[in-house]
Amino acid sequence: MESTLAAYRGQTAWPELIHGRPAVVYPRQLAAGPVRAGDGWSGQRQPEGWAEPHPLWSAVLDGQQLTITGPGGPWYSGLLAATRDRRRAARTTGAVLQITGEFTNPLEFPAAAAAGLLQLCVVKLTFTGDTW
């Protein structure tokens, strides 16, 4: 499961289901642009209201294809990893969580999370086409 954004760098961003919310996880080196608080990114110790979708971002789920666009253009284009749980979570939350931070692969992600080295951004999710 490779995103077009990540493919040109030879690495992969990956979809997850985290605390009941669909998420896309990008190692920092795969971020399509700077990760700034003014663009909706928040550290793990989030300010109040962080969990609301940020207006500078949009996400569209068309069938199983997820496209996320933010300041400066596209950030992710790939599969949602459409298990029943992820489809249900996408419909229930109406949002997707983006996560980036100081890790380079999935094996380093738990340690980065435990050390508080993640940045989060919530994006409103719109459904088009056949989304189950």
Give tens-digit pLDDT for 18-77.
888 888 888 887 777 788 888 888 876 665 656 788 899 999 988 778 889 998 888 888
Q: Which strand (E) or helix (H) includes residue 91?
A: helix 84-93
Backbone angles phi, psi at 95, to 5 degrees: -150, 160
Statement: residue 8 has pLDDT above 60: no
Number of independent structural domains in the chain: 1
Q: Which strand (E) or helix (H) includes residue 120?
A: strand 118-128
Measured CA to CA, the distance from residue 108 to residue 21 in angstroms comes to 21
Model pLDDT, residue 45: 66
- Domain residues for 113? 4-128
The tokens for 47 are 């300010």
Its pTM surpasses 0.85: no
Contact 106, 38 (CB under 8 A): no
Measured CA to CA, the distance from residue 105 to residue 13 in angstroms comes to 9
Provide mean pLDDT across the span 93-114: 89
Higher-confidence residue of 7 and 117: namely 117
Residue partners of 86: CB distance under 8 A and separation at least 6: 15, 17, 22, 80
Name the nearest CA neighbour of 125 among 61, 39, 69, 52: 61
- Say if residue 50 is exposed, middle or buried (CB neighbours under 10 Å; 0-12, 13-18, 19+): middle
Model pLDDT, residue 128: 86
